Amino acid sequence: MSTLTKTDIVETNINDEYYLKLSSDPVKFEPVNDITDVFFDDFKQQVFAIRSGGVTGVIVKGLEDNINFRMDDKGPVISIKFSPDMNILAIQRSVTSVEFINYSSVNALDSIQYSQSCKGKNATILGFVWTHANEILFVTDHGVEHFQIIPDKRFVKSLKSLNIAVHWFIFCPQSFLMLLSSGHMGNQMQALYVTPGNLHKITKFEIETITTKPGKLAVSERDVALAVLYGIPCIIVVRHQPSDSIRSVGLTFLYIYTIHKMMTVKKSHIIKLDMNGRFAINVVDNLIIVHHQASKTSMVFDVMLPGVSDGTVIHHTSVAPPKSIKPYSLRVPGLNISEYVNQSYQLYSPNWVVFQPNIVIDAKLGCLWYIELQLDKLAKLITNKVQLVQFLMHRKNSKQILIQFIMDLIMQMPTTLVDIPIIFERLNSVYRNHLENEIQSIMGTPLQNNTKIVHFVSNSFKYKIFIDQSDIYSHILSKFSEDKIDSKMIIWILLEYIRSLSEHGIPVQHYIYELVITTLVHKKAYYQLHQLLQYHVVSDSKPLACLLLSLENLYPAAHQLALDMLKRLNIAHEEIIEVLLSKGHILPALRYIRSIHKSDDVCARKFLEAAKVTNDCILFYSVYKFFEQRNLKLHNTTGFAKSERCQPYVQHFKKLFRTNT
Amino acid sequence: MSSKSEITLEHFYIFNNTYAKKEGEEKNKILYYYPAKVDIDNQIKNIGLSEAIIKFTESFNPGQSCDYCHTQKTRQIYFQPEIHFWMVMIVGVPFITKENDGTTYMEYLNDEVSSTVCQAILKQAYTIFRLFMGSFDNILNEPDCGSVILLRYKLDHFYSRYLLSLKLNNSDILDIFHGLVFLPLDKITFLRVQCFMNLIEATFPQVKYTAFLYNNQLVWSGLEPEDMQVVYNYLINTLLPAHLEKELDDSSISRNSSSPFTTSHYGKFVTGPSSINDVKKLPKVFINYSTKPISLYLIVYRALNATVCLFVDSTNSPMFYTTLDSFLGVQLTSLVNSISEQYSKHTSVTTESSPRYLYFNKLNLAYKSTIHNDHKRFSNVIVTSEVLRIITDINSDTSRLKETGEIVIKTMSDYWIVGKLSNLREFFVIIQQKNASIIEIDDEVNRLCDQQLKSIFFH
């Protein structure tokens, strides 16, 4: 009985670990029905609901927008999009032209409409995209036409055009990259990089064909997505390998092509999906999310995690086992008019349409969600500790989770000590990069190091967070109290941390050293402390020397160590003299000031007073004579200058040694 | 001219004066007596004499017992290691047989025997016994069979072999220091060693303490210094030389041959099994007397020039040695590489004519000597025995100086011996130079201080 309950609990826990969820507050719009058409613009992420061809109203909704206007019904709309600045509305109602209406938030739609036909003869417009400001691209089956709209003059100016047979196209508003499917089989890929006023062709490439049914394209539009992963534009292609004689079930792969410097395209990663059927792709926080409709699960992939390289391409496996998106429920009106009940919603619905980077739309329901990552849940499913650290460092808002993970790891000491070095190594190599960037930004960018800068920039794209010494100290190391963990383990962690910092050439902060010293003292591990100081593990500083001096009662050798440290600092002459005098070591103090050639500057009173209180006549005599010699050298007389206020000691000397006079 | 005799061990005995309550029970006092051939009456007589001297001198200086007694032919050393237990060592003073007017007589060279060195040897004889056998008190109170009989048995078992290895004639100031030679290393390499040792402790919970040596020099000690000095001197003077000798004798195995467990690394057990089927008894050591006495097994493992000491409380777990061997062997081999890189940077060449020095810090027991070759003591001393004796004498004097001081001595054979004391450290410089003035010697000493002691406060 009890075991049953136990497994129940475990199961619920596992089921709790949904690492993906729909945004809790969806963008709601009027669902598709007989009189309402719905369009989505993935550039501005706006949903257009057009009632009765616009006569009864067009409602534009986005995360922040909620716009209403009316327009004339001039036939069915194929596509509708606002320009980036929201000053022009483009409507496509035919396959040969696009209409433009000026728009402003104050006056809504302008009454006058102007249009532009595609220039290619017999060409069919496949679609259009706004690019920069008032620039627009028409993609036809014969090529790409680039126009600039001048709204004040209601004039469309042709900029550039490109002739190429196009089957379909997709556009990525983040990277301004357009991908055209071309060639006989549709597997000749031409990518274009759109800059203001210009189109740049990127090297053509071919996606190898897999036996396709005649009359069908080798690569279909819905199997391709454009994304930006870690600051680098990517083309993600789903490849279905049909079943053959060996396998009864087909295989599916993701090919990832990366675009380097907007010049060349290279197939760089391959991901094997252990499923087949329909897939949809999203990108969240630089992770590739693959939704699988048949199994109602989603998978997560990270191209930055290490994979198996075959020389040119890296093969990756999923970050965590496939999981469904977290169950979602809708608030719907209940039986009573004032009541609302939660009704569970069918995820992975056939009505879903997925847009880049992370949008899911159910047009029948009238909802737009953003796919969100539940990083804490995902982190629990990654078993490889080193990979987890690396994974978390590439995520946004992961610092707290990473810190908690390190905390947990330390609490499981001693067996986990073996994992600590490599984890610190990861943390500190990113930390060092960050410090280098910081220095570089302070110093300005030197011209000759251009290649290096590129490297840094890509690093800053790669790593979203870094953990510095103050994080480690205040969130981790200082949080452990004696009763939670053996202080020996704290020492192990601290030394491991200092070693890792040192191997990366990062100067260790004073508070880390202080914690080492106080923890060792608390544990009464004085000899270990002594050895650490002896090998200069703890860097010299005045505050640490003072800390050591204060430990003399507990560990007598601390005094010697403190003096050594002060001497090495080479700027602590005053302190050394004070320490020696406080111990009554007057002659060593004099010997010291003579060795550093500071005899002329010291305060004679201090020494004479110290010598006087010892009641040692010989000592007093020696000190007095030392200063007489100094006076002779400085002022050509053995007497003390008045400003030195040494009269009482002169008297004392006379009393002791000049009985005759 | 006739030959000079050597310092000899005449008597060595241990007694407890409370074991004889009544007259006639005197022999009960005797716990150990060397040489065994001395008859019981003489044993009782000699012990009685020592007791009398101790008692008599105590009346002059209550609370502080007599350390040693000089006679013409012997030097007698008294040491009370534990309450009511006394150890006495009597050494014969070397002599020269001379002839005068046809009669031969012996001239005893009392100066050639240093009481402080003898005292140090006697103390070492006790601490090494205590390390391997436990303190006298431990043995008496051992739960199973602790008794005076057991103590007598253990003393006899230990000292009858130990005394034979005593090298009275090759002992010097280093026996007084009973110190440790630390390997100079940079911070990162030291931290690598330290973290490696921590990892051993974390991986093998049986391991309670660790120590790491390289080329007979200490890098890290988890033991307290008073324990480490005994273990260290045992390692470098007894265990490791014997181990190397054994390996050299065994011609089929070269010195850096690989482990008997695997061929992938160079590590092997010095104490512990020498092959996978070998079940050798591990030495047991008794440590931590100043805080909480504990007995642990000592595993010594060596790979290339590195020696790892592990103090473990049990070796029962199966495959313990095999997992330990594969863990230590592989990691040590790479660690040793980074140490040896550092080591070659730090070794400076001392030429024949350059001044020799000896440094000792009593707070961490570190010493460094260029008057002893290669840290292999005995018979490898570069200076004369006269110089060594003077150093010992200066050392006795500096212990009377307060915080700081300097003593300069010039010998007839143009040796200058300078002893400096500062900040609880001792520094001895030996310069052999004809026609040198004290100012030149002082300059030379200061130059050497600057060179060797620049990172410490020594003025």
Q: How far apart are CA A471 and CA A400, in angstroms?
A: 10
At residue A263, does pLDDT exceed 60? Answer: yes
Q: What is the pLDDT of residues B56-65, one digit of tens each?
A: 998 888 888 8
User: How many whole angstroms from its chain centre is CA B311?
Assistant: 20
Q: Which residues of B touch A493 (CB under 8 A)?
A: none
Looking at A579, A594, A613, the residue that finishes a domain is A579
- Residue boundaries of the structural domains of chain B: 8-171, 187-346, 356-452
Report which of residues A251 and B35 the model is more confident about.
B35
Query: Up-side HSE of residue A430: CA atoms within 13 Å toward CB?
Result: 23
pLDDT of residue A445: 56
CB contact under 8 A, B366 and A534: yes
Q: Could you tell me if A352 and A483 lie in one domain?
A: no
Average pLDDT over every residue of B281-302: 90
Q: What is the pLDDT of residues B177-197, one digit of tens each?
A: 999 999 999 999 999 999 999
Q: Which residues of A touch B457 (CB under 8 A)?
A: 560, 563-564, 566-567, 576
Report which of residues A134 and B347 the model is more confident about.
A134
| Single-letter code of the amino acid located at B417 | I
A450 pLDDT tier (thresholds 50, 70, 90): very low
CATH topology of domain B356-452: Beta-Lactamase (3.30.450)
Extract the tokens encoding A476.
């981790």
What residue of A is the nearest CA neighbor of B186? A535
Looking at A320, A351, A372, the residue that finishes a domain is A372
pLDDT of residue A199: 87
The answer to whether residue B380 neighbours chain A at the CB level (below 8 Å) is: no
pLDDT of residue B260: 54
Q: Which residues of A touch B422 (CB under 8 A)?
A: 588
| CB A149, CB A136: distance < 8 Å | yes
Q: Could you tell me if A571 and A605 lie in one domain?
A: no
Length of chain A: 661
Sign, Cα dihedral of B377, B379, B380, B382: positive
Q: Which residues of B touch A591 (CB under 8 A)?
A: 404, 459
Q: How far apart are CA A94 and CA A448, in angstroms?
A: 55
Q: Model-level pTM greater than 0.90?
A: no
What residue of A is the nearest CA neighbor of B222? A528
Q: How far apart are CA B377 and CA B392, in angstroms?
A: 16
Element (H, E) at B68: strand B68-70
Q: Which residues of A touch B363 (CB under 8 A)?
A: 530, 556-557, 560
CA proximity to B335, closest of B182, B197, B183 = B197
Measured in angstroms, the CA of A620 and the nearest CA of chain B are apart by: 16
| CB A117, CB A145: distance < 8 Å | no
Q: How far apart are CA A630 and CA B142, in angstroms?
A: 68
Cis link prior to B355 (omega < 30° from 0)?
A: no
Query: Which member of B182, B195, B403 has the closest CB to residue A585?
Result: B403
User: Tell me, what CATH number does A80's domain have?
Assistant: 2.130.10
Give strand ranges (E) for A62-123: 66-69, 79-82, 88-92, 97-104, 108-117
Q: Which of residues 337-366 of B touch A (CB under 8 A)?
A: 361, 363-364, 366
Cis link prior to A648 (omega < 30° from 0)?
A: no
Extract the tokens encoding B453.
């002691």
| CB A418, CB B202: distance < 8 Å | yes
Element (H, E) at A281: strand A279-284
Average pLDDT over every residue of B371-398: 75
Q: Which residues of B touch A413 (CB under 8 A)?
A: 202
pLDDT of residue A37: 87
CB contact under 8 A, A530 and B364: yes
Q: Which residues of B touch A491 (CB under 8 A)?
A: 198
SS3 sequence of A614-627: CCCHHHHHHHHHHH
Sign, Cα dihedral of B360, B366, B369, B372: positive
What residue of B is the nearest CA neighbor of A419? B199
Mean pLDDT estimate for chain B: 87
> Which are the contacts of A561, defined by CB distance < 8 A and separation ≥ 6?
A530, A533, A548
pLDDT of residue A244: 61
Report which of residues A246 and A641 the model is more confident about.
A641
Domain residue limits at A623: 584-657
At residue A253, does pLDDT exceed 60? Answer: yes
Q: Which residues of B211-234 are buried (b: 16+ CB within 10 A; e: fewer)?
A: bbbbbbbbbbbbbbbebbbbbbbb
Q: Could you tell me if A606 and A495 lie in one domain?
A: no
B187-346 and B356-452 share one CATH topology? yes
Q: How far apart are CA A366 and CA A32, in angstroms?
A: 7
pLDDT of residue A13: 52
Query: Which member of B199, B364, B456 has the closest CB to residue A557?
Result: B364
Measured in angstroms, the CA of B76 and the nearest CA of chain A are apart by: 34
The answer to whether residue B330 neighbours chain A at the CB level (below 8 Å) is: no
CATH topology of domain B8-171: Beta-Lactamase (3.30.450)
CB contact under 8 A, B192 and A534: no
Neighbour tally for B148: CB within 10 Å: 14
Q: Which residues of B touch A530 (CB under 8 A)?
A: 363-364
User: How many whole angstroms from its chain centre is CA A509?
Assistant: 24
The answer to whether residue B59 neighbours chain A at the CB level (below 8 Å) is: no
Q: Which residues of A touch B194 (CB under 8 A)?
A: 495, 499, 532, 537
CA proximity to B112, closest of B5, B31, B222, B17 = B5
Q: Which residues of B touch A563 (CB under 8 A)?
A: 423, 457
Q: Could you tell me if A152 and A139 lie in one domain?
A: yes
How many domains, in total, are found in chain A?
A: 3
Q: Which residues of A touch B192 (CB under 8 A)?
A: 499
CB contact under 8 A, B404 and A588: yes
Mean pLDDT estimate for chain A: 85
Looking at A579, A594, A612, the residue that finishes a domain is A579
At residue A11, does pLDDT exceed 50? Answer: no
A330 pLDDT tier (thresholds 50, 70, 90): confident
Between the CA of residue A584 and those of A152, A616, A617, A626, B402, what are the distances in Å? 92, 11, 14, 17, 11
CB contact under 8 A, B191 and A560: no
- Residue in A499, A512, A583, A586 to test binding to B, most B beta-carbons within 10 Å: A499
CB contact under 8 A, A557 and B192: no
What residue of A is the nearest CA neighbor of B221? A528
- Residue in B182, B186, B187, B209 to test binding to A, most A beta-carbons within 10 Å: B187
Measured in angstroms, the CA of A379 and the nearest CA of chain B are apart by: 26
Q: Which residues of A touch B427 (CB under 8 A)?
A: none
CB contact under 8 A, A414 and B455: no
Between the CA of residue A629 and those of A599, A620, B49, B269, B442, what are the distances in Å? 10, 14, 59, 65, 21
Query: Which member of A492, A503, A583 has the closest CB to residue B188?
Result: A503
Query: Which member of B194, B361, B363 has the closest CB to residue A495?
Result: B194
At residue A396, does pLDDT exceed 80? Answer: yes
Task: Work out how many CB contacts closer than 8 A connect A with B.
Answer: 95
pLDDT of residue B1: 46
- Whether residue A5 lies inside any domain: the answer is no
Q: Could you tell me if A237 and A145 lie in one domain?
A: yes
Average pLDDT over every residue of A569-596: 88
- Whether residue A157 lies inside any domain: the answer is yes
Measured in angstroms, the CA of B46 and the nearest CA of chain A are apart by: 42
CB contact under 8 A, A527 and B457: no
Q: How far apart are CA B177 and CA B175, in angstroms?
A: 5
Q: Which residues of A touch B425 (CB under 8 A)?
A: 560
Q: Percentage of chain B with pLDDT > 70?
A: 90
CB contact under 8 A, A563 and B423: yes
CATH topology of domain B187-346: Beta-Lactamase (3.30.450)
- Whether residue A10 lies inside any domain: the answer is no
The answer to whether residue B49 neighbours chain A at the CB level (below 8 Å) is: no
Q: What is the pLDDT of residues A115-168, one digit of tens each?
A: 888 887 888 889 999 988 889 999 998 889 999 988 888 888 888 888 888 899
The residue with tokens 């002169």 is: A650
pLDDT of residue A306: 86
Between the CA of residue A4 and those of A7, A9, A12, A14, A443, what are the distances in Å? 5, 9, 12, 15, 65
Query: Which member of A496, A531, A564 has the closest CB to residue B220?
Result: A531
Cα dihedral: A193, A195, A197, A202 (round 10): -20
Cα dihedral: B132, B135, B141, B147 (round 10): 80
CA proximity to A127, closest of A221, A33, A60, A54 = A221
- Whether residue A528 lies inside any domain: the answer is yes
At residue B459, does pLDDT exceed 80? Answer: no
Q: What's the farthest any 2 CA atoms get from each other in chain A? A: 131
B352 pLDDT tier (thresholds 50, 70, 90): low
Specify which residues A224 forms β-bridges with: A237
What residue of A is the nearest CA neighbor of B219? A531
